[in-house]
Structure 1
Amino acid sequence: MSGVRLSRPAAIVRHAILLITGALIMAPFVWMVSLSLKPPGEIFRGSFSILPEHWYALENYTKALTAAPLQQYMLNGVIVCAAILMLQILVCASSAYALAKLEFRGRDTLFSLVLIGLLLPHQVLSLPLFILCYSIGILNTYAALIFPFIVSPFGIFLFRQFFRSIPDDIIHAARLDGLSELAIIWRIMVPMAMPAIIAFAIFSVVGHWNDLFWPLIAVRDENLMPPALGIMSFANQEAGNDYGPLMAASTLIVLPLIIAFLAAQRWFVEGLAKGAVK
């Protein structure tokens, strides 16, 4: 609890645990960047060092950008993630408002189905989704990468919890002013729920930017591959055992996510605290 003042030994133990945990989480990323700066001879050397003796960054990053269409992979990731996020917000905000603020028969049953959806891993639905995408003829297109993720149970749950924290008096006043339910959602509820939307956006973008399983099934054209699938193709076909360019490409792919999270971390924490905890 934030109001409880810890004793000095307890505070030291807590900070030590946080530092150790943070170091363990950051270690793979630091090692990835380190390898992207080293020549091949130093990568497989038995001795451990974070900084290279001979800097090979220019060669590794140049090869990462030229040996495979990395820019196209990242552009595909931006297109797919942006389209998924916009459609998810459109669907999830409307659904969450209905579950949070409207009274209708079967509302609790529908919310129970949303909770069940939270428990199901997406891989369970991959076969019926593949058959559906094949039936409507969208395999090996951007639509195949976007369509299965339009409805997000987590997004509906998070937005519903945040909408429930908004006083009903605000909605009643908006109705008295003549606003429709859709206008209330997009002109009142969504702007007030912006912290929750930013928190959800980070989860959504990171999840789909790094997704390998579904793109591996849905697309074959290299020009449609998102970053995770593209980097696998880069490693297998172009880089081989040349891990320097591979780690350089991985660093370039991870960097936009890190920058986005650092820019939005305040709203991310606020959105989770005010939404999912309520």
Structure 2
Amino acid sequence: MLRAFIRHALLLIGAVVMLAPFVVMISISLKPANEIFAPHFQFLPTHWAAISNYHDAFTRIPLARFMLNGLIVTAAIFFFQALFALPAAYALAKLRWRGRDTSFALVLLALLIPPQVPAIPLYIGLWQFNLLDTYAALIIPSVISVFGIFLMRQFFRTVPSDLIHAARIDGLSEFSIVWRIMLPSAIPALSAFGVLSFIAHWNDYFWPRIALQHDYLATPPLGISFFASIEAGTNFGPLMAAACVCTVPLTIAFLLAQRTFIQGVTMTGVK
């Protein structure tokens, strides 16, 4: 009884700590400027400024355009990540070939490399091919995900080998096995990876800031930063309103994939 109480108390404290920034964000998005800097915090404002703040969020910057950019970039990145991760993970999990263990060790090693490390070589390469300030500049550096390869490899290890042998007896090629047998069985793990990939690249500020020179291709995090002004000061009401709007797609994506996300994460740890 005491152990259960302590466990639930710790979970409750963790939930409060995680949700507190979002509560403050929503509260600020509803307030006028004078109440945002009030000495005492209260969640609901005395004078509501929600309409003006959310209106400014879409009119002072092209927020709808930035969100469309984010959807295009994240969808394209996930498509190519899955396209490369599934065959690579299948080869590492179910095929026997010289250098397989070494290749998997390199995948694990690549997980330790921060994304900031290859930023300069990637920038120079994209510049040489005249791809900077394009959708390609935002998509190409992320089309191969070593985490996706690792996650799918762990899931494929749980798939019975007899199923693959039966498919080979029926005359299916290895690529046909990947797309017709392994892909349908990997939907839970692929959904979990999709949610993680969507969140990571939707929230990415570092690389778009480097690769883009014009505002019309900005993704949501980069677009929100346009509310900051050194001369006039940051307008926190519309800024927090824009942040709330940009958080909605992440929330919807997780809620829609919640069951398969949990299933995929748990099933990848069976072996």
Assess same fold via TM > 0.5. Answer: yes
Confirm or deny that 1:201 pairs with 2:194: yes
8 Å CA contact retained: 1:239, 1:245: no
Residue 134 (1) aligns with residue 127 (2): yes
3-state SS, counterpart of residue 62 of structure 1: helix
* Amino acid across the alignment from 2:82: I
Percent identity among equivalent residues?
A: 55
Task: Indicate conservation of the 8 Å contact 2:227/2:234, yes or no.
Answer: no
Separation in structure 2 between the aligned mates of residue 206 and residue 239 of structure 1, nearest angstrom: 32
Of residues 29-38 and 128-137 in structure 1, the stretch that sits farther from structure 2 once superposed is 128-137
Matched, 1:120 2:113: yes
Offset, 1:255:
1.0
Q: Secondary structure at the match of 1:124?
A: coil
**For 1:196-235, what per-residue CA distance to the aligned partner results, in whole angstroms no more than 9, with x for missing partners?**
0010001101000000111111011111111111111233
Q: Name stretches of at least 5 consecutive residues in structure 1 with no aligned partner.
A: 1-7
Q: Which segments of 5 or more consecutive residues in structure 2 lack a partner in the other structure?
A: none
Letter in 1 for 2:151: L
1:239–1:251 Cα change, 3 Å: farther
> Counterparts of 1:238 and 1:91 in 2: how far apart (Å)?
46
Partner of 1:70: 63
The residue matched to 2:116 in structure 1 has which SS? helix
Whether 2:3 is the aligned partner of 1:10: answer yes
What is the CA distance between 1:277 and its match in structure 2?
Answer: 5.4
Q: Which amino acid aligns with 1:222?
A: D
Paired position in structure 1 for 2:82: 89
| Aligned with residue 259 of structure 1, among 235, 238, 252 | 252
Q: Deviations over 1:90-110 (max 9, x none)?
A: 000010001011111000010
Moved over 6 A (4+): none
Moved more, 158-167 or 239-248: 239-248
Which letter does structure 1 place at the counterpart of 2:169? L
Counterpart position of 2:164? 171
Q: TM-score, normalised by structure 2?
A: 0.97
Deviations 1:167-208 (A, max 9, x none): 000001111111111111111101101110010001101000
Partner of 1:268: 261
Q: Is the 8 A contact 1:93 1:185 kept in 2?
A: yes
Aligned partner of 2:15: which letter?
G
**Who is 1:52 aligned against?**
45
2:215 to 210, 217, 222: 222
Cα separation, 2, equivalents of 1:263 and 1:130 = 35
Task: For 2:252 and 2:2, locate their aligned partners in 1 and report how far apart those are by CA, in whole Å.
Answer: 35
CA RMSD, 1 decimal: 1.3
SS of alignment partner, residue 166 of structure 1: coil
Alignment length (residue pairs): 271
> 1:127 and 1:277 mapped to 2: Cα distance?
39
